[in-house]
């Protein structure tokens, strides 16, 4: 995966960011806004029973939308994650990090994770949105074919049942 042409800024006077950047200076280019991506498949059905599985599919959907607009994950300049299960998200940060890197590489733009009570899509536990800037002179190239992938499992939240099993 190519490196970003945007300048990541992480001041030494702030805490070390893990999985995000404190700031980013955007290279001149074309802006792409990707609206709320959940784990909806192309047939309109939510896939994945857990926060991790839904994050995986939502991130794949976000990357697909970026590529369809002529952008790449390395062009993302900000990202928001909305989740109905912050505790489960927090417990699964290591697994979520692996899922993130599979789709986004080691490009960590400024990012927020926001807890919400519910999302518009019934059954959705995660929704992603981002802004990307395709630098001037970037060769859009051809769209890549979407490759199906296996959904991953998550760790149980402390003191409660995980999203993946409720028996």
Q: Beta 7-9 vs 23-25: how paired, if at all? A: antiparallel
Task: Look at residue 142 and tell me whether its pLDDT is greater than 90.
Answer: no
pLDDT attached to residue 109: 94
Distance CA 40, CA 17 (A): 30
Residues 138 and 158: their CA atoms lie apart, in Å, by: 46
At 138 the pLDDT is 64
pLDDT over 90 at 6, yes or no: no
Tell me which residue has tokens 């280019």: 29
pLDDT of residue 118: 97
Q: Are 89 and 51 a contacting pair, CB within 8 Å?
A: yes
How much is the pLDDT for 62?
Answer: 97
State the pTM of this model.
0.79
CA distance 83 to 87: 10
Residues 43-77 have pLDDT tens digits of 999 999 999 999 999 999 999 999 999 999 999 99
Q: Are 19 and 108 a contacting pair, CB within 8 Å?
A: yes
Average pLDDT (91-104) is 96
pLDDT at site 121: 94
Q: Based on C-alpha coordinates, what's the Rg of the chain?
A: 16
CA–CA dist 89, 55 (Å, integer): 9
Kindly tell me if the per-residue pLDDT of 85 is higher than 90: yes
Which pLDDT score, from 0 to 100, does residue 2 have?
Answer: 56
């Amino acid at each position: 995966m190519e490196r970003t042409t945007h300048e990541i800024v992480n001041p030494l006077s702030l805490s070390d960011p893990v999985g995000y950047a404190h700031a980013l200076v955007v290279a001149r280019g074309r802006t792409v806004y990707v609206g709320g991506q959940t784990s909806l498949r192309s047939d309109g059905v939510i896939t994945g029973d857990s926060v991790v599985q839904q994050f995986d599919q939502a991130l794949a959907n976000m990357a697909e939308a970026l590529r369809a607009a002529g952008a790449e994950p390395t062009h993302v300049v900000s990202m928001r994650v909305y989740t109905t299960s912050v505790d489960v998200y927090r417990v699964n940060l290591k697994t979520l990090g692996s899922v993130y890197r599979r789709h986004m590489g080691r490009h960590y733009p400024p990012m927020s994770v926001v807890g919400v009570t519910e999302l518009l899509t019934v059954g959705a536990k995660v929704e992603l949105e981002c802004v990307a800037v395709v630098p001037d002179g970037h060769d859009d190239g051809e769209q890549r074919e979407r490759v199906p992938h296996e959904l991953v499992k998550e760790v149980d939240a402390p003191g409660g049942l995980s999203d993946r099993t409720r028996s």
